[in-house]
Structures are given as C-alpha cells and as structure tokens.
Structure 1
C-alpha cells in the first residue's frame, strides 16, 4: 500500500499543492484541507501536482473539481497528471474537458504565467 503525503510550496504567487501515493476515500480529505488552506492565502494561480500519485479514486477527483470550482476566474488552475493512474481516469471521466490537465509542472507554470 502506498503511503499518502501532500505538501504545499510557492513559485512566486503560484501555489503548488503536490500529493503522492494513493488518493482515495481515506486520503482525499487531507488533500482537500490543504487545498482549502492554500486558497485562503490568495494565490494568483493554483497547481495541483499529481505526478507522484499512484492511484486516483473518485473522491480524489471530487477534490480536484471542488478546487477548480473554488478558484475564481481571477485564479489560474491546472492539474499535473501524467500516467495511467492519474491522467487516464481524468480523461475517462471527462475532467480534462473541464480544467487544464498537463503532463508536467513546467508546462503548468508556463501556461498559467501566460494566462492561457
């Protein structure tokens, strides 16, 4: 079983929340709490980095949807997901049509810094 962990760091005014391990019904509330506290700090953009997530369950996807909905039009939002455990479920559910899902943190930073 993968141990879940999450952390927050900043790249200028862009907040990055990264998670690792399995993001499921048991662990998603921890990510949700971190995302909420991050948004309270009023970043210009929020990136949720799932690069090290091995499993993304429906509860984890709901956290992503809630985070997207909580970012106002003034806050950029992107999810980094590259791999069968993360990008595939997001594509299957159709969330890649709702918000930006990119393959690397650098791509997310570049896209949000241009406002695209």
Structure 2
C-alpha cells in the first residue's frame, strides 16, 4: 500500500520460523518496486520471533539507500526490538503516521541545483 508516496508493508499475525520465508518474499517484492521509502508496519503482529527480526535486519540492509522505518508499539513487537537494540539499526516509531512523516522527503531535504553548475 502507498501512503503519501511511501510504500507501507502492513504485517499481521506471527513472525516466526514458519512465516519467515513469506515475510521475506513480501519485503523483497516491496523493495523490487524501487520505492522512495519503505515502512514495515508491525501494529497487527502478535508475536515477533528472532526469525522475524532477522527479516527486519535484511529489510534494513536492502533499503539502505532509501528512508526505512518500522512501526511497532505493542509489547510483542517493540519490546524485543528494543531489547536486541535493533532500534539503533533502523528507525522505530509508535505510529504509521510518525513513520510516514519521518520517511517523506521535505523540501529542505532536496538539494538545490545551481543552474551554472549543470553541464550539458
């Protein structure tokens, strides 16, 4: 799904060894579209195992060239992310709205181009 031009991958249920491949495929598919930014929303996730966290690390690496954030506000998701210090690896927000705000380029983020510096 797209929110303000940002790709949002909303995930639900359990992220564990049984669902890891499907989750990784969804992340890879989202990255294959060459998004301007990627948000993984874990709001509806009830269980986050180490296998799910490894997919988040992989997603962060795959999105190294674009803004990337993870939405997690419940104890089942935000707590393991913080306990493993993954919140220092990628941006962790409590709401999708906050993540979209953080991942949407602002006019001040866009470098001004001096026409005299452009070669034809």
* TM-score, scaled to structure 1: 0.87
> Highest CA radius of gyration, 1 or 2?
2
Deviations along 1:30-66, one digit per CA (max 9) or x if unpaired, are 1110110111110000000000001000000000000
In the other structure, the counterpart of 1:76 is 67
Tell me which protein shows more strand as a share of its residues: 1
Q: Say whether residues 1:39 and 2:62 are aligned partners.
A: no
Q: Say whether residues 1:95 and 2:86 are aligned partners.
A: yes
In the other structure, the counterpart of 2:115 is none
Query: Displacement of 1:72 after TM fit?
Result: 3.0
Q: Structure 2 unaligned segments of length 5 or more: list them.
A: 110-120
Which has the larger displacement, 103-112 or 12-21? 12-21
What value does the CA root-mean-square deviation take over the aligned residues? 1.4
Deviations along 1:65-107, one digit per CA (max 9) or x if unpaired, are 000001132x110000001100000000010111101000000
- Residues 5-44 of structure 1: matches in 2 within 5 Å? 9-44=1-36
In the other structure, the counterpart of 1:58 is 50
Query: Displacement of 1:114 after TM fit?
Result: 4.3
